[in-house]
Amino acid sequence: MALLHISLHPPSPLSFQRSSTIIPALFFSRHSSAKLHQRGIKLAAAALPSESAIADFWRWFRERGALTQPPLPVRPAVVPEGLGLVAERDMLRNEVVVEVPKKLWINTNTVAASEIGPVTLGLKPWVAIALFLLREKAMGAASLWRPYLDILPPETDSPIFWSEEELSQMRGTQLLNTTFGVKEYVQNEFTKVEDEVILPNKHLFQKAINSADFLWAFGILRSRAFSRLRGDKLVLIPLADLINHNSSITSEDTCWEIKGKGLFSRELIFSLRTPASVNTGEQIYIQYDLQKSNAELALDYGFIESNNKSRELYTMTLEISESDPFYGDKLDIAESNGLGETAYFDIVLDRPLPPLMLPYLRLVALGGTDAFLLESLFRNTVWGHLELPVSRANEEMICRVIQDSCTSALSYYQTTVEEDEKLMERGGLDPRSEIAIGIRSGEKKVLLQIEQVFRERESELDTLEYYQERRLKDLGLSGEQGEIIFWESK
């Protein structure tokens, strides 16, 4: 019988499996300072910029030509989430909130035009921009970007900024592994850029940059860039990046665009629009990303949506073992159907299992008397057979292994779902504790759901129809009730 390899932790600490993309690719999503709207939690006063800093930024923003049509219908202000955009008048849906010209963007072009441009050639876009932010910040009043840099938060509530004690609240979670992986990734990038760029060019980086500084820049970029402006297109948009998230906004693609400033102008502007009507004095919100799980929201922005089941997700990793005697055949079949040696399946709370999960499980577990399905004769039809139960032994194996894996994963958590719910009901928790409890509770709920699905399936093994029964029916050798039909000559 084949060995069934299952991992209930992300295969790589740098991946979020909903998008199946490693950190450097998914790296920058949506933005904002500290997005805690769903919970209505206020940031500590020490994390907020002063009124004078906000006023200086607002003056800088206007003086640098951002305001083409006075007055602007919004202003930056302190809000429950930290900083946000507040309407100065009633605004209808799809009205322009702000238009930011390209000269106020921070992207790789900005870096290339700066003093450090020549030494950042060939760096990853985010690394180059991170170095630019840190150098400009160290320049203080000599930096043209100081008013913007002065309103950036010292950190967010992303787990990458948590203490060991705070992280211990997420013991057993996939997010904890991912957090460690992200921090290791950032540290490795820092070590490399320190050796290759920073130290050989001390005349450009006169103030020392350490790994904590670099992690800060990483977190700022991760939390403030808009979703489609990632990778090579990575850009920070001052003022626009203050806009916060609201789960009641269900559209994410119509609230902003990059366009020409005028009909015949080549100058680009970033145009932000209202996704919903707002009244004077109300905060303007957008939807960051409908597809992100709570773990992704936490890592990117430092908040979760506690009551949104569609955000509760657990990633199951399945693998065809190289020690499997049928490894080559199974890998060929998997690749022919868009999968590979390792497959990642995101299971969402209260939703059916991913459609490819059971066929892949059956393939991985295939062996013994069922191995004939791996022969080349069946290569074009085998996946269709795997979409239905193959044999009792095969189905029983996957049911038991999945249940055992879930039980094992659940044992690593320090609390039960019920205990977590009591903690949340009691209230008085700090934002990071709320995130930790929400993440671990959500993961456990999904694990319990998976366990229940396969427990029920195991109880139905005797009622399922397997390959041999289906084949006999196709040949007319079995009745509707499964009885064998014997043909006797007259």
Please check whether residues 458 and 390 belong to one and the same domain. yes
Q: Are both 138 and 258 inside the same structural domain?
A: yes
Domain identity same for 285 and 331: no
pLDDT value at residue 327: 97
In terms of domains, do 375 and 282 share one?
A: no
Query: Annotated binding residue at 40?
Result: no
Is 285 labelled a binding residue?
Answer: no
Flag whether 115 is in a domain: yes
Question: Do residues 54 and 132 share a domain?
Answer: yes
Are 277 and 312 part of one and the same domain?
no
CATH number, domain with residue 10:
3.90.1420.10
Report pLDDT for 16.
Answer: 34
- Dihedral sign computed on CA atoms, order 77, 80, 84, 89: negative
For residue 200, tell me if it sits in a domain.
Answer: no
According to the model, what pLDDT value does residue 231 have? 72
For residue 9, what pLDDT band results from cuts at 50, 70 and 90? low
> How many angstroms separate the CA atoms of 7 and 439, rounded?
19
The verdict on 357 and 409 lying in the same domain is yes
Residue 382 belongs to some domain of the structure:
yes
- The one catalytic residue in 148, 288, 314, 344 is 288
Mean pLDDT across the stretch 6-21? 41
Whether residue 362 is annotated as binding a ligand: the answer is no
Q: Is 245 annotated as a binding residue?
A: yes
Same domain, 363 and 418: yes
Does 128 reside within a domain?
Answer: yes
Task: Give the model confidence (pLDDT) of 401-449 as tens digits.
Answer: 999 999 999 999 999 999 999 999 999 999 999 999 999 999 999 999 9
Asked whether residue 397 is assigned to any structural domain, the reply reads: yes
User: Domain containing 64: what range?
Assistant: 23-159+218-290
Question: CA 357, CA 342: separation in Å to the nearest integer?
Answer: 12
Tally the domains of the chain: 2
Higher pLDDT, 361 or 12: 361
Structure tokens at 279: 């009244």
Is 288 catalytic? The answer is yes
CB 348 within 8 A of CB 310: yes
Q: Identify the pLDDT of residue 21.
A: 28
Same domain, 420 and 402: yes
Q: Measured between alpha carbons, how far is 273 from 412 in angstroms, rounded to an integer?
A: 45
9 annotated ligand-binding residue: no
pLDDT above 80: residue 73? yes
254, pLDDT greater than 80: no
Mean pLDDT of the chain: 87
- What is the pTM assigned to this prediction? 0.87
> What confidence category does residue 265 fall into, taking pLDDT thresholds of 50, 70 and 90?
low
Half-sphere exposure at residue 457, Cβ-oriented, CA atoms within 13 angstroms:
22
- Asked if 124 and 95 sit in the same domain, the reply is yes
Highest mean pLDDT among 61-65, 373-377, 468-472: 373-377
The reply to whether 173 falls in a domain is no
Has residue 381 been placed in a domain? yes
Q: Are 9 and 47 found together in one domain?
A: no
Asked, for residue 166, whether it belongs to a domain, the answer is: no
Same domain, 116 and 251: yes
